[in-house]
């Protein structure tokens, strides 16, 4: 039997939603997969409307910065946990879901 991870993700589309909400997904757990790979799985297999950024996938560009379990990190270099809460970077305007405005 495959172990599973419970991923709670911040969801908000300012064009459609009155307020943000958290949405939970149960996905296969693999400790060798990154948070970014978990988000890609959710996007491809569960909810194609999930918005997040990705680019270099090697920790150089900072594009995939977000808050995971209360700590700022890069999703491409942070490994999955069995329980994860994923939120957008603090103090940035949310464009949609985990995508924030990076310019001040």
Give the global pTM. 0.94
Q: Which domains does the chain have, with CATH numbers?
A: 4-100 (3.10.20.30)
Indicate the helix (H) or strand (E) that contains 25.
Answer: strand 21-28
Q: For residue 36, what pLDDT is reported?
A: 98
Q: What is the dihedral of CA 14, 53, 11, 33, to 10 degrees?
A: 180
Q: For residue 2, what pLDDT is reported?
A: 83
pLDDT band with cut points at 50, 70 and 90 for residue 104: low
Q: For residue 14, what pLDDT is reported?
A: 92
């Amino acid at each position: 039997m495959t172990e599973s991870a419970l991923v709670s993700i911040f969801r908000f589309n300012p064009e459609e939603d009155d307020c943000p909400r958290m949405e939970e997904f149960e996905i296969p757990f693999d400790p060798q997969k990154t948070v970014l790979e978990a988000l890609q799985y959710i996007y491809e297999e569960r909810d194609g409307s999930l918005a997040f950024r990705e680019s270099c996938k090697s920790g150089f560009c900072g594009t995939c910065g977000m808050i995971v379990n209360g700590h700022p990190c890069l999703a491409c270099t942070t490994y999955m946990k069995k329980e994860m809460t994923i939120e957008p970077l603090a103090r940035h305007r949310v464009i949609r879901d985990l995508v924030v405005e990076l310019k001040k």
